[in-house]
Amino acid sequence: MIQPAIHTDGLTKVYSVSQRESGMAAALASLVRRRTEEVRAVDGISFDLAPGEIVGFLGPNGAGKTTTLKMLSGLLHPTQGALTVLGHVPWKREKTFLRQITLVMGQRNQLVWDIPAADSFELNRAIYRLPRADYQRTLHELTELLELGPLLKKPVRNLSLGERMKCEVAAALLHRPQVVFLDEPTIGLDVTMQRRIRAFLAQYNQRFGATLLLTSHYMNDVEALCRRVIVIHEGKLLFDGDLASLVRRFTSHKTIIVQLETCPDDLQAYGEVVSCEDGLVTLRVAKGETPRVTARLLADLPVIDLTVEDPPIEEVIERVFAQHAAEAQAGEAP
């Protein structure tokens, strides 16, 4: 059996956060006695990642994604649970472990602000003790894949956000890590740049067989890169499986888009009319009804074009969280 690249079992992180009411009296009281509250940022999550997998790690703000990534990369000590990455216990931060991983955190910089990125890359070569020939080869590949050529000689502070992010990603991957953690790698970037970073990550994964775990608010990132997604909410694991089955499981409706000559009046008979403009009708239909409604539409109306789609992934994720909240509420009710 192949050893998983990442293994977690009951991974938990509890923070102790000090609490205080507003006002002077509370301020004075807190001098004597501090009240702390335990926050379970990550609450007993378990999953394995096989070597070479790309997995999307999804959840709303505060769900525990970054905390989990920090535990996986060795920056945070788990409160409970088992955790290994490439057979190492991350928080021990052994050099052999650190040489095989990287964590790309949004705007956090690997790069020295005042000097050209090429100089920072050279520093990373020394830090990771990369043989010159290997380093040159990787740098050449990264330069090509990310189109870094003209950027390398400019001081980092003179680069645009997108340009800087490309250099950040390159700096983080120069040592060819086997496991790559990415926290919002495309945040703040324009669509073209997002697409380029995405394509690059897919290529990196294929070329080096690296395992990638990424969080992103852009569902396009997830759809383009990840067959499998892990969804967490309030520190708990809600879903772990392929993206298609997430959509299947959490969608009760499909969207039918029909192109007609004009907008007829009696469309409600077919399903919920989301919109109709210039004959382009968008209908929301219960999943089980879709084949029947489609057949009726084709039989009854002069259809020019017709497509059936799953709802956007954002909507699916929203449903996952909504359903979880409803279940939690039902659980609390007497």
Q: Footprint of another protein on this chain (CB under 8 A)? A: 15-16, 67, 70, 73-77, 91, 93, 95-96, 98-99, 101-103, 105, 108-110, 112, 114-115, 119-120, 122-123, 125-129, 155
Write down the least CB distance from residue 88 to another protein, Å: 12
Nearest to 67 by CA among 90, 96, 92: 90
Write down the least CB distance from residue 332 to another protein, Å: 30
Nearer to another protein, 70 or 196 (CB): 70
Nearer to another protein, 67 or 84 (CB): 67
User: Sign of torsion, CA 182 37 81 84?
Assistant: positive
Write down the least CB distance from residue 254 to another protein, Å: 42
Rounded CA gap, 172 and 109, in Å? 10
Rounded CA gap, 314 and 69, in Å? 22
Nearer to another protein, 15 or 218 (CB): 15
Nearer to another protein, 38 or 314 (CB): 38
Nearer to another protein, 25 or 126 (CB): 126
User: 328 φ, ψ to 5°?
Assistant: -60, -40
Write down the least CB distance from residue 8 to another protein, Å: 16
Nearer to another protein, 60 or 155 (CB): 155
Write down the least CB distance from residue 298 to another protein, Å: 57
Write down the least CB distance from residue 95 to another protein, Å: 4
